[in-house]
Chains A and B, each alone.
Chain A
């Protein structure tokens, strides 16, 4: 056998360290930039092996601990002798450059020495739980160099930053390198960067912008100030990109925003001639967009802007309403109603205009949608010259939908307008009032064949249904359907007459049967109809009973139309009149002259109605009857005579009856419906909750009814009291503010 013994000579510590020193010295010379060739692999191996041997020798010659210490001391020595002196003699930018150089060198030194001493890393440090060589090296620099200089360095950096802010060119790469030191020296943590540099930088930036802001806010207009702010923020972001650590961005931006935009928000937005209000007034869309962009990123920053927006729109709306109100009081009645129509148009335009703002300037932000909505809700519920907005809107629709309406528009324009009107309805709280006015006017259009276009009629009902639900439009739809059915029914009636010639009344008769629930309620009087008409009624009744037996027909003569042939001296003229007017005129077929009282008795009408009728026939444009005395108004002592001398160039004339003011009745009907609605809501709520506090009941009631109207709190209370009397509810015995449902 071959015994193989490797004899290693024991290296003595001093001896070994002397050898290592040569390597260290060489390294230093390289770092100092002195002429020195690089380490070759043999040198490297030798150095490495020396360490290896000294660590693996048997005790007492295993020098791991000593070598570990000497490793650290090598750095300390170098730093004290060379690095620190070099740094201490320099200042400002020069110091920064030196520091960058020295740090770079140090890293190289650590890299090389730790390679030489690598064996320590493998076993020794783990066994003794000591910091690894890399860390030891960096810690030396931190403790000896960084700790002494970081404050000075920070000041120098900040000075350069401020110089750049003032417009001077600086060496950005240098700053980046310097700040990288702060990061790296943290050895995985950002603490050093944050505490030793960033916090100071942020304070400095804040005070820099605070100074700037305080002078700009005095001198600059709002748009200019915003432009500057935008520019500053842009520059600061660039700064971060170029040399600050990325984590500084949000903090720096926040500080800048705070000083420029938050601190002076009020002064900026409220600037008298250039602030938010003025920008809105002058339609400065770009500036407003900028304002949005700037304040969007600030917590609650948009609220004051939205508020000013809301106030502005409200003021504009109120001005329109006031204008209409003023015009109405200064002019005669009929031009006033035209003004009201103009108002609706203008409100629509206002809405279109500011919706564009909401969508474009304010990027569809909910805060601005809300502001617009609330603004419109304020002025859209104001009364103009005694008409509620609900009525105005209904009249506006009527004008668009009726024949010969005030608006001459293309189909597309009509569709568009109807769409917008329905949208406006959302802002009106008395939707049920609108529905009732609309229904009344729809009835008139349908019954007197004044509807311009069936498609438009149906189209708006569809839109209303979409916006307000099926219940809102169900009656109206029923009305439209009734008309269609009525036409069919008329055909059957004519067929019936054809088959029963004896039943024929001898007068062309068209009857429209309405389903009671759908149509507005109409008063029907027991007017004494002329015999011819009575026959018509009988005949139709006969026909109707062949179709259905279980329905009751109630005749609404006030809605009828009659075509009479007036046999005047000059020429016959066809008169298109209401049934009531016809009834009056037909009396003169048998008698030439009749007193007011005669007519009253014969027809069995009220004074109010009769005066209206006689006025339309004797004191208005077409004088079919001669009144004695020929004063301008009808009085109960007058007498009337057929005016055979009457003539007109037309062959057929319409003699209109002035429309009865339906407003009062509509309001009454709606109030009545509201009482039922409130009752129903209260009962519904109490039935499900059984016991409920007063305020909660009221608020739930309001909420349930809000889709159709805003109930008066007093009205709710009154209904509650009524329900108590009717034993639906009772007050709790212990707590007078609580109510119980009585089953």
Chain B
């Protein structure tokens, strides 16, 4: 549970001056009225005892936004918020995200989503988002890898719309192979590079003698055998 103790105190204090102090230095200066509305929105979904938006709250938010729970846009929202724990939004994270989106009401938030998606899909941001998606799924303290099943779901969400074929093949491969039970960050990022650099399904540029992760070497081999 991460929330700054300062923020929790702020709830009981009068919000006006101190919150504006806290946020005045930010790039998009939220007015105190905006911040009030943002906090108000937060409270609508937050669990009162933990003062976090928990999975239930997120589900409700999703239904109100008319966005499926597993939609990539929620993940993008989490990215914008720099949310650290999967399934939870802290107040600080909420504020950060909505302030950046200039959304202080639900309808504004809904309207902000397409723009957010465009922003994330910009080449300069997507790699960061892609890496974020992986980290977001690491739930345990020292966890470094994610199980195959989760990876398959994540791939579908994150890359499904842009690289449908690669994702479908790779997911199929991951499910039938036995060498790997988990995928680590290096392999995860490798797949991203693979989608961006290698033509599919020809894969003529692929050279297993380069530093591609071994799982991708095996993947490419498997496809070649299938095509033969």
Residues of chain A at the chain B interface (Cβ within 8 Å): 694-695, 698, 713-714, 717-718, 721, 724-725, 731, 736-739
Q: Count contacts on B: residues with CB < 8 A to the other chain.
A: 13
Chain A contacts of B211 at CB under 8 A? 694, 731, 736-739
Contact status A737-B210, CB under 8 Å: yes
Contact status B214-A717, CB under 8 Å: yes
Distance of A714 Cα from B218 Cα, bound (Å): 10
Measured CB to CB, the closest approach of chain A to B124, in angstroms, equals 15
- A selection of 5 A-B contacts at a CB cut-off of 8 Å is A717-B214, A721-B187, A725-B144, A736-B190, A736-B211
With A714-B214, A714-B217, A736-B193 as known contacts, state yes or no: A721 contacts B209, CB within 8 Å: no
Measured CB to CB, the closest approach of chain B to A678, in angstroms, equals 13
Contact status B213-A721, CB under 8 Å: yes
Closest to A738 in B: B211
Query: Contact check: which of A694, A698, A724 meets B186 at CB < 8 Å?
Result: A724
Distance of A738 Cα from B214 Cα, bound (Å): 15
Measured CB to CB, the closest approach of chain B to A692, in angstroms, equals 11
Distance of A499 Cα from B6 Cα, bound (Å): 82
Chain B contacts of A725 at CB under 8 A? 144-145, 184, 186
Contact status A713-B210, CB under 8 Å: no
Distance of A25 Cα from B186 Cα, bound (Å): 107
Chain A contacts of B214 at CB under 8 A? 714, 717-718, 721
Distance of A232 Cα from B215 Cα, bound (Å): 65
Contact status A721-B186, CB under 8 Å: yes
Chain A contacts of B190 at CB under 8 A? 736
Distance of A731 Cα from B210 Cα, bound (Å): 13
Distance of A725 Cα from B143 Cα, bound (Å): 11
Chain A contacts of B187 at CB under 8 A? 721
Chain B contacts of A721 at CB under 8 A? 184, 186-187, 213-214
Closest to B213 in A: A721
Distance of A718 Cα from B214 Cα, bound (Å): 7
Measured CB to CB, the closest approach of chain A to B151, in angstroms, equals 15
Query: Contact check: which of A694, A695, A717, A739 meets B217 at CB < 8 Å?
Result: A717
Closest to A719 in B: B214
Query: Contact check: which of B193, B209, B213 meets A695 at CB < 8 Å?
Result: B209
Distance of A575 Cα from B187 Cα, bound (Å): 61
Chain A contacts of B144 at CB under 8 A? 725
Chain B contacts of A731 at CB under 8 A? 186, 211
Leading 5 A-B pairs by shortest Cβ distance: A694-B211, A737-B211, A717-B214, A724-B186, A718-B214
Chain A contacts of B193 at CB under 8 A? 736
Measured CB to CB, the closest approach of chain A to B209, in angstroms, equals 6
Considering residues B186, B187, B190, which has the most beta carbons from chain A within 10 angstroms of its beta carbon? B186
Chain A contacts of B184 at CB under 8 A? 721, 724-725
Closest to B209 in A: A695
Distance of A345 Cα from B193 Cα, bound (Å): 54
Contact status B210-A694, CB under 8 Å: yes
Chain A contacts of B210 at CB under 8 A? 694-695, 737
Chain B contacts of A724 at CB under 8 A? 184, 186
Chain A contacts of B209 at CB under 8 A? 695, 698, 713
Distance of A721 Cα from B183 Cα, bound (Å): 11
Distance of A737 Cα from B212 Cα, bound (Å): 8
Distance of A736 Cα from B214 Cα, bound (Å): 14
Distance of A731 Cα from B184 Cα, bound (Å): 13
Chain B contacts of A737 at CB under 8 A? 210-211
Distance of A698 Cα from B211 Cα, bound (Å): 10
Distance of A736 Cα from B186 Cα, bound (Å): 10
Measured CB to CB, the closest approach of chain B to A569, in angstroms, equals 59
Closest to B182 in A: A725
Distance of A185 Cα from B210 Cα, bound (Å): 69
Distance of A439 Cα from B187 Cα, bound (Å): 40
Measured CB to CB, the closest approach of chain B to A651, in angstroms, equals 57
Closest to A729 in B: B186
Closest to B193 in A: A736
Distance of A717 Cα from B214 Cα, bound (Å): 6
Measured CB to CB, the closest approach of chain B to A385, in angstroms, equals 28
Measured CB to CB, the closest approach of chain B to A638, in angstroms, equals 39
Chain B contacts of A695 at CB under 8 A? 209-210
Distance of A739 Cα from B145 Cα, bound (Å): 20
Distance of A695 Cα from B214 Cα, bound (Å): 14
Distance of A738 Cα from B211 Cα, bound (Å): 8
Distance of A318 Cα from B144 Cα, bound (Å): 50
Distance of A325 Cα from B105 Cα, bound (Å): 80
Distance of A714 Cα from B193 Cα, bound (Å): 20
Distance of A736 Cα from B198 Cα, bound (Å): 14
Chain B contacts of A698 at CB under 8 A? 209
Distance of A738 Cα from B213 Cα, bound (Å): 13
Measured CB to CB, the closest approach of chain A to B91, in angstroms, equals 33
Closest to A717 in B: B214
Chain A contacts of B217 at CB under 8 A? 714, 717
Closest to B215 in A: A721
Chain A contacts of B186 at CB under 8 A? 721, 724-725, 731
Distance of A695 Cα from B209 Cα, bound (Å): 7
Q: Which of B171-228 contact A (CB under 8 A)?
A: 184, 186-187, 190, 193, 209-211, 213-214, 217
Distance of A739 Cα from B214 Cα, bound (Å): 15
Q: Which of B18-39 contact A (CB under 8 A)?
A: none
Distance of A694 Cα from B211 Cα, bound (Å): 6
Distance of A725 Cα from B215 Cα, bound (Å): 14
Distance of A725 Cα from B213 Cα, bound (Å): 12
Chain B contacts of A717 at CB under 8 A? 213-214, 217
Distance of A346 Cα from B226 Cα, bound (Å): 44
Measured CB to CB, the closest approach of chain A to B149, in angstroms, equals 20
Considering residues B184, B187, B213, which has the most beta carbons from chain A within 10 angstroms of its beta carbon? B213
Measured CB to CB, the closest approach of chain B to A739, in angstroms, equals 7
Other than the given A694-B210, A717-B214, A738-B211, 9 more pairs (CB < 8 A) read A695-B209, A698-B209, A714-B217, A721-B186, A725-B144, A725-B184, A731-B186, A737-B210, A739-B211
